[in-house]
Structure 1
Amino acid sequence: MQGAHAAAVPDLGTIVHLVRSDPPPWPPVLIIGGCGGGGATTTTLGMASQIADLVCSVAVDGTAAGGDLALRGADLRFAGSTLQSWLATASTPAGAALRSSLSLASSGAAIVRRDASALPRRETIATVCDRLLAEGLAPIVDGGASVAARDLRPLLDHPDVRIAVTIPARMDAANRVAITLRQLDEEFGESLIASTVLVISHQSAHTPTVAAALSQHYGGWISGVIEVPFDPHLAIGRTITNHALLPETRWAYLDLARWLLPELGLPGEEMATHG
């Protein structure tokens, strides 16, 4: 309009968090693979499923190019919409647009999938989590295998984020995860790495337990170690149905949720090293 000055766009920096009138009752959770094939997707789905009876949990595909989170976990409904289409629907109320974008698991957990396109301007996985928290949902983010992914960095800077790093139960992976942990420590501070949980996924029935050895090795640096046992239902690589998992598998994911989200007041003993 002639004679009027356009409102200046504020410089919000690289990290944008939505303003809430009250703090969310729980923080976002980020599951990162310490190497390829580390089990970040199955761990994300497993944890989201175990807490679905207590909170409205949402597993979020936070991978850069879009992964198979919904394909693996949506055994009840696979939504055609994506994370990007939800964020781009500015004319629709946020809650209504979100509902149409959610895939569903029979456990009660919801899933938000993404494709390979870029997120809309000023959106990051951190702002996605803030939007979900504003809707009363508990976001569990599958970050894939790259802690250096650009979309994830604002979430790693989130003041309340909780992190689990997943690796397969192999000697080479146990050695390589030190690189990921060191990177988190050097770039984001000792308080973040001190609350990080290492998750070891057994992808073969013949791999030995290693949690005790890794707990001794990383003790005093990270928070603790949890082992997810070999589960034939996970090993087939098809859509995961929560009730088809072994009880020990569901317990391991519940143990992880108990440690990362003590705000939920989950029953049972506090996390201990499994091995």
Structure 2
Amino acid sequence: MTELQVDLDQIERSAPDPELAALLDPTDGPSPTGMPGTDGRLVRTVVPAAVVVGTSGGSGTTTTAWGLAAAVAERGLDAVAVDATPFGNDLAERGCDLAAPISTLQRWLDDPAPGLPSRMRAFTGESSTGARILDRSADPLPRWETFVSAHRHLGDAGMTPVYDGGGSLRSRLIGPLLADPRIGLVVTVAARADAVARLRPAMTWLDEQYSTFAVSQVVIAVTRQSPTAPDAAALLTRGLGPWLRAVVDIPYDAHLATGTKIIWDELAPDTQQAYQRLLAELQ
């Protein structure tokens, strides 16, 4: 597939960008998924667990995972945001505005009874939304433990987990979670030309590795990280919408842009609604 440079300013113009058309038009070579229309939408009767992962670094996976977990907690459910990156990130540092975690994912998995709600809570931090945060260090997971077993333990504890998979869709750590249709998949894309250009190859890889059905259930979260970021969500809805579950625009938010602890009540109402819509689209 030829690498394309996409001018996102074309969204605002009436004439289509030919390079943009080449990127998104399924008649230009095989489509990413070959989905026949929009049939095959999976309806989940309960709020699902979810994996949030990007096609590159800097796409907003951590803030999106936190926002999605907060939206779950706002529904009155027991939510936990889990750092599922290979070496740990700043999910706990930014997400725990009420209580910092006193331990890590690895130590929780080493506990004799990780599926007990009281033990899970003992190892997590907390957001003022009520969502818990499960941090991880750069150490490997304990022997015989994977994110499959972690997911089982969290289910036993009555939690709805949201996994921050970081900027690599191809991470082997989260592979088993991607293969489970009961777990929703959110792919974050920054509202930049280079990020949009990487999306189609990423969806092609997902199709080849996990099936057309897996691609059809993807929710794209387009994160605007500057006040002047273009409306890439409209671009992707127009070009890739028939193959995906949904495309959700996460607007620029001055509070998120500070890089400090995230507090739900300090987010703009449009940002809160975007995270709630993201959760609704997964269900």
After superposition, the C-alpha distances for 1:148-206 in whole angstroms (9 at most, x for unaligned) are 21211111122412101001110110111222211111100111110101111110001
Partner of 1:30: helix, strand, or coil? strand
2:70 alignment counterpart = 49
Alpha-carbon distance in 1 for matches of 2:279, 2:115: 31
Equivalent of residue 113 in structure 1, options 135, 138, 148? 135
Equivalent of residue 188 in structure 1, options 187, 193, 210? 210
Runs (5+) with no aligned partner, structure 1: 1-23, 263-275
Alpha-carbon distance in 1 for matches of 2:267, 2:248: 17
Alpha-carbon distance in 1 for matches of 2:144, 2:54: 26
2:60 alignment counterpart = 39
1:26 to 1:99, Cα distance in 2 relative to 1, 3 A? same
CA deviation after TM superposition for structure 1 residue 93, in Å = 7.1
1:15 alignment counterpart = none
Equivalent of residue 265 in structure 2, options 236, 239, 243? 243
After superposition, the C-alpha distances for 1:6-49 in whole angstroms (9 at most, x for unaligned) are xxxxxxxxxxxxxxxxxx95432000012110001000111111
Aligned ranges for residues 134-149 of structure 1 at < 5 Å? 134-149=156-171
Computed over aligned residues only, the root mean square deviation of the Cα atoms, in angstroms, reads 1.6
2:221 alignment counterpart = 199
1:123 to 1:259, Cα distance in 2 relative to 1, 3 A? same
Bigger mean CA offset, 79-88 vs 45-54:
45-54
1:205 to 1:158, Cα distance in 2 relative to 1, 3 A? same
1:64 alignment counterpart = 86
The one-letter amino acid paired with 1:129 is H
In the superposition, the TM-score normalised over structure 2's length comes to 0.81
* Contact 2:106–2:142 (CA under 8 A) maintained in structure 1: yes
Alpha-carbon distance in 1 for matches of 2:217, 2:106: 31
* Contact 2:56–2:195 (CA under 8 A) maintained in structure 1: yes
Aligned ranges for residues 70-89 of structure 1 at < 5 Å? 70-89=92-111
CA deviation after TM superposition for structure 1 residue 90, in Å = 1.5
* Contact 1:48–1:109 (CA under 8 A) maintained in structure 2: yes
Aligned length: 238
CA deviation after TM superposition for structure 1 residue 92, in Å = 7.5
1:250 to 1:123, Cα distance in 2 relative to 1, 3 A? same
1:154 alignment counterpart = 176
* Contact 1:126–1:158 (CA under 8 A) maintained in structure 2: no
* Contact 2:179–2:214 (CA under 8 A) maintained in structure 1: no
Alpha-carbon distance in 1 for matches of 2:63, 2:114: 32
In the superposition, the TM-score normalised over structure 1's length comes to 0.83
The one-letter amino acid paired with 1:203 is Q
1:114 to 1:198, Cα distance in 2 relative to 1, 3 A? same
Alpha-carbon distance in 2 for matches of 1:25, 1:124: 24
1:174 alignment counterpart = 196
Alpha-carbon distance in 2 for matches of 1:69, 1:127: 21
Runs (5+) with no aligned partner, structure 2: 1-44
The one-letter amino acid paired with 2:202 is T
The one-letter amino acid paired with 2:162 is I
CA deviation after TM superposition for structure 1 residue 98, in Å = 1.2
Q: Please list every run of at least 4 consecutive aligned residues from structure 1 whose deviation after the TM superposition is greater than 4 angstroms.
A: none
Percent of pairs identical after alignment? 37
